[in-house]
Amino acid sequence: MSADFKNQVVVVTGGSTGIGLSAARLFLAGGAKVVYVTGRNSGNLDKAVKTLGDGATGVVADVAKPADLEALKARIEADGHKLDVLVANAGIAENNDLGATDEALFDRIFDINVKGVYYTVQTLLPVLKDGSSIVLTGSIVGNKGMPRLSAYNASKAAVRSFARSFASDLKARAIRVNTVSPGVTRTPIMENGLKMDEDAINGFAAYLKEAAPLGRMAHPDEIAEAILFLASSKASYITGVELSVDGGLAQI
Ligand SMILES: NC(=O)c1ccc[n+]([C@@H]2O[C@H](COP(=O)([O-])OP(=O)(O)OC[C@H]3O[C@@H](n4cnc5c(N)ncnc54)[C@H](OP(=O)(O)O)[C@@H]3O)[C@@H](O)[C@H]2O)c1
């Protein structure tokens, strides 16, 4: 990636691991002046900031808590910054079995993946520059009926829908809003949220070998590159779209 982001200020929610961490690293490699990375776990965030080096700023913030998002906005204002790019990437995935899903699980998924994305964008609007770019992390499952994941699937359909509406809502400010929808990507979400052990992950890999045109999982950098493309001036006439980055899994 060329220095497309020279001197730019970027927020990546959920930037402590996985896709968000890859994106933060690539923004800095592309010349960004400051990349704010957020997450709930301060230990993971500290580790990420150390790995990312100069330009990375960690802010502990839970996207499901509007007060945390207000504090993030206040931090950006106190630093005297305006945002060029917002990547609303934080999200969780947990299995929910139809017939045995308690309200707390349902609420957790929607509070983080749906309400969290909405309030991330709404709260940070005053610190976004006119002409800036917002990228939301959806998922190909927003258009699929993956078993045991109905709440997660629906939450990601909502994210894709937000990109369409926000692109209209932000017309007057020329802020572009797009969604990147990853396919199966090897990140800690598999162990942490989906509780997959090594056998389950290997089983998934074997399934993809058969089912997906590219026959493998993505590396998080491959998703991050698509996020950077949509965030960049190279995508200056692209808004409201969903870009699937899935090795073809959901395209055939
Ligand atoms: N990996 C895949 O196969 C895949 C496929 C499609 C879509 N996605 C989406 O990609 C995004 C990134 O996931 P990933 O695969 O990179 O997983 P990951 O490694 O688990 O990263 C998730 C990030 O989000 C943060 N996060 C989770 N809940 C949060 C909250 N309430 N507030 C703030 N930060 C929060 C996590 O930090 P803390 O836990 O410390 O808060 C972490 O930084 C998610 O939206 C996910 O749904 C992933």
Note the pLDDT tens digit of each residue in 5-47.
Answer: 999 999 999 999 999 999 999 999 999 999 999 999 999 999 9
CA of 110 to the centre of ligand 1 (A): 13
Q: Is the CB of 189 under 6 A from ligand 1?
A: yes
- Specify the residue with its C-alpha closest to ligand 1, atom 10: 137
Are residues 121 and 143 in contact, defined by beta-carbon separation less than 8 angstroms? Answer: no
pLDDT at 118 > cutoff 70: yes
Tens digit of each residue's pLDDT (9 = 90 or more) over 38-59: 999 999 999 999 999 999 999 9
pLDDT above 90 (res 2) = no
> In this predicted structure, what is the pLDDT of residue 186?
98
19 lines ligand 1 (CB under 6 A): yes
pLDDT in tens, 124-148: 999 999 999 999 999 999 999 999 9
- The token pair at 7 is 């001197």
Q: Which atom of ligand 1 is nearest to the CA of 220?
A: 16
Pocket of ligand 1, candidates 11, 12, 17, 186: which has the most ligand atoms within 8 Å of its Cβ, to mutate? 17
What is the per-residue pLDDT for 216? 98
Query: 227 CA to middle of ligand 1, Å?
Result: 14
Is any ligand 1 atom within 6 A of the Cβ of residue 112? yes
- Over residues 66-107, the pLDDT tens digits come to 999 999 999 999 999 999 999 999 999 999 999 999 999 999
Q: Is residue 120 in contact with ligand 1, taking CB distance under 6 Å?
A: no
User: Can you give the residue ranges of every domain in the chain?
Assistant: 9-188+220-242
Is 152 labeled as catalytic in the residue annotation? yes
Centroid of ligand 1 to alpha carbon of 30 (angstroms):
22
Q: Is the pLDDT of residue 169 over 60?
A: yes
Ligand 1 centroid from CA 3, angstroms = 26
Instruction: Write down the mean pLDDT value for the chain.
Output: 97
Domain 9-188+220-242 bears CATH identifier 3.40.50.720: yes
